[in-house]
Amino acid sequence: QDNLFQKVVSHAKEYGFVFPSSEIYGGLQAVYDYGSNGAALKKNIKDYWWAAMVQMHENIVGIDAAIFMDSQVWKASGHVDAFNDPLVDNKDSKKRYRADVLIEDHIAKYQAKIDKEVTKGKKKFGDGFDEVQFLATNPNVLRNKGKIEEIEGRLKKALEDEDMAAMKQLIEDCDIACPISGTKNWTEVRQFNLMFNTELGAVAGDAAKVYLRPETAQGIFVNFLNVMNTTRLRPPFGIAQIGKAFRNEIVARQFIFRMREFEQMEMQYFVKPGTEMQWYEYWKDLRLKWHLLVGSEENYIYHDHLKTAHYANAAVDIEFKFPFGTKELEGIHSRTDFDLTAHQELSGKKLQYFDTELNKNVVPYVIETSVGLDRMFLSVLCGAYTEEKIEDGDKTKERTYLKFHPALAPIKAAIFPLTKKDGLPDKAREVMEELKYDFTVSYEEKDAIGKRYTRQDLIGTPFCITVDHQTLEDNTVTVRERDTMEQFRLPVSELNKFIGEKVSL
């Protein structure tokens, strides 16, 4: 699986999806740039989200708030005081780690021991191997399971109590060594705030201090009244936003899964207090359906949070089976009136609506759906990456292609003249002219057709259209479909409708 992930990462770079930022200077950690195909894929994901949220809901509107906000916003939201990760340094290597991640990596070692036992068991007992029974009775498995439970329990408690001394004790008790220096010479564990800050204008000091927003949601909360007044919407209604967020993540790994600069697609749905659970269920259901329209069902699961963050009374993650593990892709949170009430108190402005049934002013409750655009991009890329063996006469060949849903594919169709002669390029350009007003299409005339198909497969183009001599006679072209590799002829006049139907959701 690690190997698969490495292949996806290399593929992303080689075919113009994702590059390390400032690469000629060595690359900036956990910051990435999107190449020509990456930028197109990202835009298609954004458009898909915006259409599903704003266009399809008459009571949801979009906004585009600034990245810089008054620093009081982050005081009220709790980020100044509580948006922390536990951090620990190794005194010899001077390397910095997230204490909880060090401990989780240590737990993974016990899990690896269990997995090894299972593999041995399968080999030994063959067909009659009962894995459930084995896991429940094998003494080695039980010992390692017990260890995992104990450490997980202590870690969870230390995180919940924000008890940094307990975290340090756990690192010592687990006898964890620094992966770089191999020594166990650790500093105390301390809280590290993840917000980046800078100064606005020429004045230095606290007055001018601003943070780069660590989430887009607060831009929505502080505009609640502006939007309500200008749209005349009343709960239930939603405000949606796509924009950059910044977090000074301590552990930056797994490619674009955890970045320091990333984009979020968030929607806050303002509802009458008491109706929030019904809306929570509604959004939980709808958001998974949204993912499934462009992804395979077996890759997604719900993960309900038993203990929720300070601001929520219910929370669920939609998780995706990434090659490096099943991880959060999107969060759906019932945030109560936590944020609006906090801003109301600190700003002194009433953030309420007049409820005609209750005949009084009320602070609405909020259901939030929050998905990382880059993380969604990674899930789409991992889900699309396909290696296949194909029979070619008596030889088998490997084929690699990106099986994007046509709606998300960076390029919808590539147009090829069969040869560079006999006016075929001119005719192919003519076909391209017909399509380019509606779709992103590309033109290629270099190399044999087979090679051109391969290049388009590698970037996930769903359709290749070849103009040949017959085209000059009857105005039909060969359409080759990416996934099945099937080829069929279509009149040029039908191409627009054909592609249009395939790329719509």
Binding site for ligand ATP (CB under 6 A): 215, 247, 249, 258-259, 262, 264, 328-331, 370-372, 374-375
The span from the CA of 311 to the CA of 385, in Å, is: 38
Is the bond into 236 cis (omega within 30 degrees of 0)? yes
- C-alpha 102/C-alpha 85 separation (Å) is 12
Pick between residue 217 and residue 467 the one whose CB is nearest to ligand ATP: 217
Compare residues 316 and 424 and give the one whose CB is closer to ligand ATP.
316
Cβ neighbours of 123 (radius 10 Å): 9
Q: Closer CB to ligand ATP, residue 108 or residue 203?
A: 108
Say if residues 388 and 376 touch (Cβ distance below 8 Å). Answer: no
> Minimal distance in Å, beta carbon 231 to ligand ATP?
25
Cβ-contact 495, 434 below 8 angstroms: yes
Instruction: Identify the bridge partners of residue 20 per DSSP, sorted by sequence position.
Output: 32
Start-to-end CA distance of the chain, whole Å, equals 31
Residue with CB nearest ligand ATP?
Answer: 372
| Residue (177 or 301) nearer to ligand ATP, CB | 301
Q: What is the nearest approach in angstroms of ligand ATP to the Cβ of residue 453? A: 34
Amino acid identity, residue 54? V
CB atoms within 10 A of CB 24: 6
Rounded to a whole number of angstroms, the minimum distance from the CB of residue 374 to ligand ATP is 5
Cβ atoms of residues 65 and 216 within 8 Å:
yes
Rounded to a whole number of angstroms, the minimum distance from the CB of residue 151 to ligand ATP is 19
CB of 473 to ligand ATP, least distance (A): 53
Residue type, 363: V
Nearer to ligand ATP, 263 or 276 (CB): 263
Cα–Cα distance list, 292 to 7, 407, 474, 505 (Å)? 24, 13, 40, 11
Instruction: Tell me how far, at minimum, the Cβ of 141 lies from ligand ATP, in Å.
Output: 29
If the CB atoms of residues 104 and 285 are measured against ligand ATP, the closer one turns out to be: 104
Residue 246, H or E segment:
strand 237-246
Tell me the closest approach of the beta carbon of residue 249 to ligand ATP, in angstroms.
Answer: 5
For the bound state, the minimum distance from the C-beta of residue 361 to ligand ATP, rounded and expressed in Å, comes to 30
- For ligand ATP, the closer CB: 197 or 496: 197
Taking the least distance from each CB to ligand ATP, the nearer of 266 and 457 is 266
Instruction: Name the token pair of 304.
Output: 């309900």
Give the span between the Cα atoms of 312 and 339, in whole angstroms: 10
Can you spell out the DSSP letters for 74-136? HHHTTHHHH-EEEEEEBTTT--EEEHHHHHHHHHHHHHHHHHHHHHHHHHHHGGG--HHHHHH
> What is the total residue count of the chain?
505
Q: C-beta of 407: minimal distance to ligand ATP in Å?
A: 20
Distance CA 475, CA 431 (A): 10
* Residue 186: DSSP 8-state: B
Q: Kindly tell me which of 375 and 427 has the beta carbon lying closer to ligand ATP.
A: 375
Nearest distance from residue 12's CB to ligand ATP, in Å? 15
Q: Select 82 or 200, whichever has its Cβ closest to ligand ATP.
A: 82
Q: Tell me the backbone φ, ψ of residue 385, rounded to 5 degrees.
A: -65, 120
